[in-house]
Amino acid sequence: MLAGFTAFLDLYATQPLLPMLMDVFDASQFDVSLTVTASTLAVAAAAPGAGRLADRIGRKRVIVGSAVALTIATALAAASRSLGDLIFWRVVQGLFTPGVFAITVAYIHDEWPAGRTGPATAAYVSGTVVGGFVGRATTGAVADLFGWRAAFGALALLNLLTAGALALWLPRERAGAEPSGRPAVSAVTVHLRNPQLQSTFAIGLCVLFTLVAMFTYATFLLHGPPFNLSTSALGWLFVVYLIGAVVTPLAGRWIDHYGHRRSLATAVGVSMFGALLTLWPSVAAIVVGLAGCAAGVFVAQATASSYVGAAAHRDRGLAVGLYASFYYIGGSLGAALPGLFWTRGGWPATVALVVSVQILTVIMAFSFWGDARIAEAPLPEAGV
């Protein structure tokens, strides 16, 4: 859970700052959205390499080392002199994030019995929920009082504390990494030819697209008229993430009992209802809708993460790294692509795009995912 907290503490922390950054740097909505897009694209690029490295040298070493590097990059981001500098350090943050995010999922599937990974993965995702909330709430509250630089300084301090805690408390893996011995390119090819993994990668892309699109453009919606919320209020908007922290642990039991496809469909249905509810022109309705959307997305993420770990029987760290690449490509698209719809049709057009992606997510799961209880299947012999 602490590793999940660390992974998401920084990644989307600039979301409540976007209107402020527009004023500080005299930049457009698209320009400041790059502080989100750049970091997620960097995650997508680095994730397979982090997975392969962890398969070779061990999970804990990569997780702790990445957490330390995140601390340094976050502190340097506070010293940025221009929007370009800030975007650069956001890229650096993104390059080290997969060492925590992707490798923790592989760690779970190595250390827990196959039939019990659902609750463990859900616990990890709960940590990401809390980390995502704390990061956004911290930057929103601190920036409103002391400016955006102080907000990054506060994040760096939190990163330092979590890196130290992971170094002390995270047990070294007992099972050890299990690379197949295949060259990296060959191992990637094997994973990309697996239909279950192909669909799971695409589903992960759609899941994060939904979350980032809703919460990035909701800040513009609520900062403008008639709502006119402050930067601090926008940061506290992400308190709805905590609903996900409550719901997601239950998802592990649902996954193991009802299967991956039914769990995913239910989660996406809740998320879709929440997205549609935000069309009601009321702050209360928008907040409730965002809460439903977030809760559904977190359960969907726990489901997809559990499935990819079960479907990849060898080079699991690499498989989860590939999943993270597609997942964060979805996040990058979710930060940028809805801008085209926003400029033409405002919030209703943005919601229409999100709902279309949600429908596609369910279609892919029921079309390509195999046995819903695949997590209980035994691992095949090496080379199969």
| 175 inside domain | no
pLDDT at 52: 72
Q: Which two tokens stand for residue 214?
A: 């809703």
**In the predicted structure, residue 274 carries a pLDDT above the cut 80:** yes
Domain count of the chain? 1
Q: What is the DSSP string of 48-79?
A: HHHHHHHHHH-HHHHHHHHHHHHHHHHHHHTT
| 75 inside domain | yes
pLDDT at 181: 52
Q: Which two tokens stand for residue 144?
A: 């409103």
Give the range of the structural domain holding residue 144, as residue numbers without chain letter: 2-167+184-372
Q: Which of 12-26, 289-303, 310-324, 353-367 has the lowest mean pLDDT?
A: 310-324
Q: Is the dihedral of CA 321, 322, 325, 328 positive or negative?
A: negative
Place of tokens 């770990």: 309
| Pairwise pLDDT comparison (139 vs 249), residue with the higher score | 139
Burial of 349 (0-12, 13-18, 19+ CB in 10 A): middle
Which pTM value belongs to this model?
A: 0.73
pLDDT at 371: 52
User: CATH number, domain at 232?
Assistant: 1.20.1250.20
| 348 inside domain | yes
| Pairwise pLDDT comparison (71 vs 49), residue with the higher score | 71
| 377 inside domain | no
**In the predicted structure, residue 75 carries a pLDDT above the cut 70:** yes
Residues 309, 259: Cα–Cα separation, whole Å:
14
**In the predicted structure, residue 92 carries a pLDDT above the cut 90:** yes
| 99 inside domain | yes
pLDDT at 163: 95
The share of the chain scoring above pLDDT 90, in percent, equals: 41
Each residue of 196-242: pLDDT tens digit? 888 899 999 999 999 989 998 998 899 889 999 888 888 888 888 77
Each residue of 286-325: pLDDT tens digit? 999 999 998 899 889 888 877 876 676 666 667 777 887 8
Q: How far is CA 167 from CA 175, 176, 197, in A?
A: 18, 17, 32
- Across the range 1-17, mean pLDDT stands at 90
**In the predicted structure, residue 179 carries a pLDDT above the cut 70:** no
| Pairwise pLDDT comparison (272 vs 171), residue with the higher score | 272
Q: What is the DSSP string of 93-138?
A: HHHHTHHHHHHHHHHHHHHS-GGGHHHHHHHHHHHHHHHHHHHHHH
| 173 inside domain | no
| 384 inside domain | no
Each residue of 93-131: pLDDT tens digit? 999 998 887 788 778 877 887 667 767 777 787 788 889
Q: What is the mean pLDDT of the chain?
A: 84
**In the predicted structure, residue 349 carries a pLDDT above the cut 50:** yes
SS3 92: helix
370 sits in the region (left: phi over 0; alpha: psi -120 to 50; else beta) called: beta
Residues 103, 256: Cα–Cα separation, whole Å:
22
| 177 inside domain | no
pLDDT at 375: 39
pLDDT at 72: 96
Each residue of 35-70: pLDDT tens digit? 988 888 898 888 778 877 877 788 888 999 999 999
Cβ neighbours of residue 144 closer than 8 Å, sequence gap 6 or more: 230, 231, 232, 235
